[in-house]
Amino acid sequence: MGMQLSPKELASLLKQSTENIRLWSGEFSAYLSKDAAPEKRGKHRVFEEGDISVLALVADFRDRGIPFPAIHKALAEGDRMMPATLQGSLVTYQTQLTDLQAKLADAESDLKKESKRADTAEIEVELLKRQNKELQEKIDRLNREIGRLEVRQDSE
The domain spans of the chain are 1-82
DSSP label at residue 82: -
Q: The domain 1-82 is classified under which CATH number: 3.30.70.1450, 2.60.40.10, 3.40.50.720, 1.10.1660.10?
A: 1.10.1660.10
Q: What is the pLDDT along the chain (156 residues), one digit of tens a residue?
A: 567 899 999 999 899 999 999 999 999 999 999 888 777 777 788 999 899 999 999 999 999 999 999 999 999 999 888 756 667 777 788 889 999 999 999 999 999 999 999 999 999 999 999 999 999 999 999 999 999 998 888 887
33 vs 153: CA distance, rounded Å: 95
Q: Strand ranges (DSSP E) for 45-114?
A: 47-48
Q: At what angle do helices 18-27 and 7-14 cross, to 10 degrees?
A: 100
pTM to 2 decimal places: 0.54
Q: What integer pLDDT is reported at residue 116 of this predicted model? A: 94
- Please report the pLDDT score of residue 54 as a whole number: 94
The pLDDT value recorded for residue 106 is 96
Whether 16 contacts 59, CB under 8 Å: yes
